[in-house]
Homo-oligomer: A and B are copies of this chain.
Amino acid sequence: MAYEEYLKDFLEISNITVGDTVKVTKPHIEHEGMLLEKPDYSNENTIILKLDSGYNIGIDIKDAKIEKISEGKKPQIELDPVDKKISDKKKNLSILSTGGTVASVIDYKTGAVHPAFTADDLLRATPELVDYANINAKAIFNILSENMTPEYWKKTATTIYDEINNGADGIIIAHGTDTMHYTASALSFMIDSPVPIVLTGAQRSSDRPSSDAFTNLMASVNAAKSDIAEVTICMHGTEDDSYCDLHRGTRARKMHTSRRDTFTSINMNPLARIENNKVTINDTQVKYTKRNEKELSLNTNLADKVALIKMYPGISPEIIDIYVDKNYDGIVIEGTGLGHCSDDVITSITRATSEDIPVVMTSQCLFGRTNMNVYSSGRRLLQNNVIGVGDMLPETAYTKLLWAAGQTDNVSEIYEIMKTNLKGEMDTTLSQNYFIKN
């Protein structure tokens, strides 16, 4: 919508149009940012600025003065072909873009950030990458990661498989941060790989001066050239650009809504730190899968429907019954403490397991591990054929149960898979004594 009436006059007097950078001064406060178009829902006396921080604010112009700082201009799209500097001496890396902030541009009409760059645009924006590897960039789809689904995971896994089959020495996946850890753990179970598979993203879009996209991408190139042939997440380790952490894909979690160092390894330290183009293993005692240790293989069989349910006081046990009635293939519970739920819920869970639906217990504490032998409610769950999965994250247990129930219908076999450490997702030697505290 255009600004109307009073606001229109207010802006026209100073010769200001949408896209211009302006300074708005009110008693005791001053804002500088880009004028955005008026959203449908905003108040008639409010203008919307996109601040340098990347966030939008509405400002009531009562008592306000406005001043133009600079003219807006449409972003120039560089169309020159990129010199890819192909050389036999460099490793072949595939960058697969799925969308997200790392590959996004601001919509100048609404101020919202949309996924928009293709993978080739990404490369064009960061031409330094080609000095470090032969880069093959490809957009496989372009979605915000909150719209990611198991079907997209399959497509991603299949593309990775093809790229490695075609000679890629390492894979980088550009991915939105919201669900990056779900995708990383899902890919961990779907692929055995002889080369690194590195997911990366950005918390600040690449149109912003504070963007973390470049640092994360460069570190990911180093990770993808390294000896760590696991599915990993490579993101900022601190708020500044000093280094990136490389997290095991089955052990990481987005733990802050907006910080650049949002990704955190839970129940183990990050595998490695990447600083000044150097990959350093954090703890040489921790085993990881090395380059060419595993043969390439792909298994994208996933169950159709698995539920992830968090327990809380007052939850209605009928929610479990509903999933049973809808023939779900499995249920992951985020229990309290060591892996508990209320007696009411246990009754419904017992019905689920008696109808051969696997029920897997994790802890909403996130840190530590389930132990259902300590308290009577845990023991009652064990007696009713619920299994605890130790120090496995709830999100990882969800992707793993989707995969495990995609391999077989036999509950004992599904449980056997769930209890086997396949991709470093459960290993109490790593989680023992591990905690982060304020």
Contacts and interface: CB of A to CB of B under 8 A. Distances in A.
A312 B310 CA distance: 12
Interface stretch (A24-32, A289-297, A372-380): A372-380
Interface stretch (A79-87, A215-223, A252-260): A252-260
Interface in A424-438: 435-438
A164 to B, nearest CB: 23
Interface string A293-319: 000000000000110111111111001
A146 B337 contact: yes
A313 B179 contact: yes
Given A178-B337, A313-B182, A343-B147, A112 B305 contact: no
Given A255-B366, A365-B262, A374-B55, A341 B146 contact: yes
Interface residues of A, number: 85
Contacts of A153: 313
Interface stretch (A5-13, A90-98, A187-195, A264-272): A264-272
A343 B145 CA distance: 11
B312 A308 contact: yes
Nearest to A374: B113
A315 B322 contact: no
Contacts of A55: 371, 373-374
A178 B113 contact: no
Contacts of A146: 311, 335-337, 340-342, 375, 377
Interface in A112-126: 112-114
A334 interface: yes
This protein's copies in its complex: 2
A370 interface: yes
A259 B362 CA distance: 16
Interface in A231-283: 238, 254-259, 261-262, 264-265, 269-270
Given A146-B311, A182-B313, A436-B436, 18 more contacts: A56-B373, A112-B376, A113-B374, A146-B342, A146-B375, A152-B313, A182-B312, A183-B313, A238-B437, A254-B365, A255-B365, A257-B337, A257-B338, A257-B363, A258-B338, A261-B437, A308-B312, A312-B395
Interface of A: 39-41, 54-56, 107, 110-114, 144-150, 152-153, 177-179, 182-183, 238, 254-259, 261-262, 264-265, 269-270, 305-306, 308-316, 319, 322, 334-343, 363, 365-371, 373-377, 379, 382-383, 395, 398, 402, 435-438
